[in-house]
Structure 1
Amino acid sequence: MSAPDLHPSDQPECPAAGSGLLPDELRAWMLLLAATGMVEQRLKSVVRESLDVSHDEFLILCLLAERPRTALRMTQVADLLGRPKTRLTYQIACLQRAGLVTRRSVCGDKRGVEVALTGRARARLRETSVLLAETVRQAFADSMGAEQRAALGALVPALGEEAR
């Protein structure tokens, strides 16, 4: 059975809290990484089929989509995504050739370059957003059983209390 075919009840049982070497928070982080890995694997194929871009290019589009009225500097995009600037330059060039982003020099800064979504990219994201959101939701549902959800849920109240 492949990973996408697994159901939460087919997942390995989560060890009882405090039963292993790792503290609960680190255990929960590892569970979250495993779940997001499954989401990423599922999204890769759906993104390729529906938008005809790579997963990394999709992440750039999503980041720019969250800034509907402004462009972002290339350095900001690289920092926010934790990507090397050289790799980002290649990905932005691919997105620009596909007509999904524009690139322009920053006024008053010879080296600064800004990128923004095109209208075409906005339309394609609107068209595919329901499918992509359902892919994420289903991948999380399939990758996490009750024990995994409980372990991750236990972190949320702790985070909320520290913010006060």
Structure 2
Amino acid sequence: MADLDPARAPSCPSARGGGLLPAELHAWMLLLAATGAVEQRLRTVVKERLGVSHDEFLILCLLAAQPEEGLRMTRIAELLGRPKTRLTYQIACLQHADLITRQSVCGDKRGIQVALTDKARNLLKEASDPLAETVTDALGQFMGPAQREALRGLLPDVVEGCPSEAAGSAPA
């Protein structure tokens, strides 16, 4: 694997800023690059720990953040920006692996509600520490001082370590 240490990486013209892009767009591009780096590293860990694809993992994450009744498939498609036909295939794979349940929505013939099974909840709990460590490591390798500075304008609380929470205000 290539050395990803931002301090030793050759200077990239887009990382210096001051080009044609406004600061917000420049920061957004760096955020996309950081996200890509995290996804690349996460794919392997997700497959090893959960036995699912990265896209299926995203569905599980959305459902894990919901109450036990889950989400409608149309809402999952909206949140992930995926076509419903592709989502149908991924949902079928997750259901076959006994990680989600599907049921019709009462009063809506076409509506399908999807929820995590206990098996999925347990797998996510067991895998959460290694997955979080993978994200932290990937961001640490990608985010050097120049990248943090560029993102500061777009995500000041994230880049600065959430000072608003440290000051005693609880997140909503």
Alignment TM-score, normalising by the size of structure 1: 0.89
Unmatched 5+ residue regions in structure 2? 158-172
Aligned counterparts of 1:152 and 1:12: Cα–Cα separation in 2: 19
Q: How does 1:6-155 map to 2 (within 5 A)?
A: 6-13=4-11, 14-15=15-16, 17=17, 19-155=18-154
Cα offset for 1:157?
A: 4.5
Give the distance between the partners of 2:156 and 2:91, measured in 1 at CA: 39
State the Cα distance separating 1:153 from its structure 2 match.
1.3
- Structure having the higher helix fraction is 1
Residue 65 of structure 1 and its aligned partner are, at CA, apart by 0.1
**Structure 1 unpaired stretches of 5+:** 159-164
Separation in 2 of the partners of 1:80 and 1:12? 36
- Name the SS of the counterpart of 1:155 in structure 2: coil
Q: How many residues align?
A: 154
SS of residue paired to 1:113: strand
Contact 1:11 1:144 in 2 (8 A): no
* Structure with higher RCO (Cα < 8 A, 6+ apart): 1
User: Following TM superposition, by how much is the alpha carbon of 1:8 offset from its aligned partner in structure 2, in angstroms?
Assistant: 2.0
Identity %: 66
CA distance in 2, matches of 1:54, 1:155: 30
Q: Are the aligned partners of 2:68 and 2:116 in contact in 1 as well (CA < 8 Å)?
A: no
TM-score by length of 2: 0.85
CA RMSD of aligned residues (A): 1.4
Structure 1 residue ranges (4+ consecutive) displaced by more than 3 angstroms after TM superposition:
none
